[in-house]
Amino acid sequence: MAKKLNMRKRYEVLTRGLGWEPTYQPKEKVFPQETYEGIKIVDWDKWEDPFRLTTDAYWKYQAEKDKKLYAVIDSFAQNNGHLNLSSASYVNALKIFIQGVSPLEYGAHRGYANLARQFSGEGAQLACQMQSIDELRHSQTQIHTLSHYNKHFTGLHDPFHMHDRVWYLSVPKSYFDDARSAGPFEFITSISFAFEYILTNLLFVPFMSGAAHNGDMATVTFGFSAQSDESRHMTLGLEIIKFLVEQHEDNLEIVQGWIDKHFWRAYRVLGLVSAMQDYMLPDSPMSWKEAWDIYFVDNCGALFKDLARYGLRMPKFHEQATDEAEHLSHQVYTALYQFSHAAAFHTEVPSKEKMDWLSEKYPNTFDKYYRPRWEMYAQMEKEGKRFFNMGLPQLCQVCQVPMSFTEVSKGEPMKLSQRVTEFNGDKYHTCSDGCKDIFDHEPEKYAHAWLPPHQIFQGNCGGAEIPDVLKYYHFNPEDGGDYKGSTDEATWKAAHGLDDQQTTPEKSA
């Protein structure tokens, strides 16, 4: 019997030995997307995947990860794990996760499947093929895990339908659509590097730790299961950047431009995560600002110091993102609070304990700027006038977040930040220098953005009244509004008031 090859050799045989040169058709016709972005690849054989995972090992480990996860999901369901949460209001963070993030995993699955087809290098094909399968697994395991919550709580019933239509979900959707409608090299720079390497730790690590902190064993498990793949994806992100800039000097400027653009695009999406982390987790293990300091300032600082030898620098406008770290979650959650009558999750004025935690974590900003606003909302609620903003917000043409960010970097945190560009005789509004820069670079692309409020006004979203639009979103009347008085709250209270014979809380009407 032949001697077993070592890891390097096995990987080499798999990724170099299985390729071939096409003879029936010219190579450019077989891989038509590889050149039009201006990227020059001289030698795909220089591609070196740092994780030399071969197909047999990949399937073995992935099967083991799934086995572990599904054992936990079963056990969670059998033991009514949802009753051990810190509070049912925690589930609101899961609603945003499955509506906003799981469909992105599916989008990534399709995106990487396309790369596996479009790249001509076998090493890159293999890495993208594995990532495509990983992303499909993530989207499936998230749906399977959260389906248990769907039996007991509102807003979780039709996330993929919602993702393609709803105003706050157009924030993550438009970012992924932006990347997926670009060429293969821009897509991989966007998702593998700007999103996965630079920013994804901010989404998964504190959020999964937060799940553990709030008694959500099931989410911790799918999160960690996904995250083990994510580590491999991050190294792919770093590898692709190094590979592109080493291949040809002309690639540097193009790649830097994509890093700048997609860092800002992905950062704006994570505004939702900041609100989940600081406001929607009843017990937060770490604030957005603390996570930003560790995973962006320290970690990406070290990364870009390392990448400086290739001529790469920190993404444009990163200073503004860091300036905003003490404001972001407060501003985003305020927008969610005001419009939650048109959302499939609940919001509420933070509790006294939560506000004290926010004061402690945000000593420079919370008491000065944001606590007074929450106290005003609390007072209004007490008077029976819970504030809902009945207008439709103007969205940023690029990130699609309501235009409620402020001029933090200019030292005016209470002044709304708005930028305008004229293009083909029309005015386009953006929320920041970062988004305006992106618009101005590719106005033809962003002029076509599908902005939910515009679409509502044009009559494309089910009708003119809010209930019509909510029906078009597949929202049920009990999905939105304040957490206090919600069906979820009633379910939770009833469940915890049950006597010993009953094991499952009644679902209230």
Partner 1 sequence: MSKDKLFIILQNTEGARPFTEAFEQENPNAVFKYDQPGMIRIENNGFLGITKEVVSELAGHEVDLQELHLVLVSLSGHVDEDDDYFRLSWN
Residues at the interface with partner 1 (CB under 8 A): 6-8, 50-53, 57, 61, 64-65, 68, 201, 204-206, 208-209, 212-213, 220, 224, 227-228, 230-232, 234-235, 238, 285-286, 298-299, 301-303, 305-306, 309
Q: Which is nearer to partner 1, 216 or 260 (CB)?
A: 216
Paired residues of 419 in beta bridges: 430
Query: At its nearest, how many Å lie between partner 1 and the CB of residue 366?
Result: 22
Query: At its nearest, how many Å lie between partner 1 and the CB of residue 9?
Result: 10
Angstrom distance (rounded) from CA 46 to CA 246: 9
Q: Which stretches does DSSP call E strand in 183-233? A: none
Q: Which is nearer to partner 1, 297 or 447 (CB)?
A: 297
- From residue 11, alpha-carbon distances to 51, 126, 128 in Å are 9, 10, 15
Query: At its nearest, how many Å lie between partner 1 and the CB of residue 423?
Result: 40
Query: At its nearest, how many Å lie between partner 1 and the CB of residue 359?
Result: 21
Q: Which is nearer to partner 1, 61 or 457 (CB)?
A: 61
Q: Which is nearer to partner 1, 150 or 209 (CB)?
A: 209
Please provide the distance, in angstroms rounded to a whole number, between the alpha carbons at the two ends of the chain. 67
Q: Which is nearer to partner 1, 195 or 405 (CB)?
A: 195
Query: At its nearest, how many Å lie between partner 1 and the CB of residue 76?
Result: 15
Q: Are 274 and 296 in contact (CB under 8 A)?
A: no
One DSSP character per residue, 87-133 reads -GGGHHHHHHIIIIIHHHHHHHHHHHHHHHHH---HHHHHHHHHHHH
Q: Say which residue the tokens 């599916």 belong to.
A: 106
| Helix or strand (DSSP H, E) at 420 | strand 419-423
Q: Which is nearer to partner 1, 162 or 266 (CB)?
A: 266
Query: At its nearest, how many Å lie between partner 1 and the CB of residue 307?
Result: 9
Q: Are 434 and 264 in contact (CB under 8 A)?
A: yes
Distance of CA 48 to the CA centre of its chain: 28
Query: At its nearest, how many Å lie between partner 1 and the CB of residue 288?
Result: 15
Query: At its nearest, how many Å lie between partner 1 and the CB of residue 299?
Result: 5
Q: Are 395 and 418 in contact (CB under 8 A)?
A: no
Angstrom distance (rounded) from CA 403 to CA 416: 8
Query: At its nearest, how many Å lie between partner 1 and the CB of residue 365?
Result: 24
Q: Which is nearer to partner 1, 77 or 212 (CB)?
A: 212
Q: Which is nearer to partner 1, 198 or 431 (CB)?
A: 198
Report the b/e string of 457-474 with b at 16+ CB within 10 A: eeeebeeeeeeebbebbb
User: Using CA of residue 134, residue 140, residue 142, residue 145, what is the dihedral sign?
Assistant: negative
Q: What share of the chain is helix, strand, coil (3-state, %, to 5)?
A: 65, 5, 30
Q: Which is nearer to partner 1, 91 or 236 (CB)?
A: 236
Q: Which is nearer to partner 1, 28 or 64 (CB)?
A: 64
Distance of CA 413 to the CA centre of its chain: 25
One DSSP character per residue, 133-173 reads HHHHHHHHHHHHHHHHHHTTSSS-S-HHHHHTT-TTTHHHH
Query: At its nearest, how many Å lie between partner 1 and the CB of residue 186?
Result: 23
Q: Which is nearer to partner 1, 71 or 416 (CB)?
A: 71
Distance of CA 215 to the CA centre of its chain: 22
Query: At its nearest, how many Å lie between partner 1 and the CB of residue 52?
Result: 6
Q: Are 337 and 275 in contact (CB under 8 A)?
A: no
| Helix or strand (DSSP H, E) at 453 | helix 452-457
Q: Which is nearer to partner 1, 303 or 344 (CB)?
A: 303
Q: Phi and psi (nearest 5°) for 426? A: -115, 155
Paired residues of 407 in beta bridges: 412
DSSP assignment letter at 196: I
Query: At its nearest, how many Å lie between partner 1 and the CB of residue 63?
Result: 11
The type of residue at 395 is: L
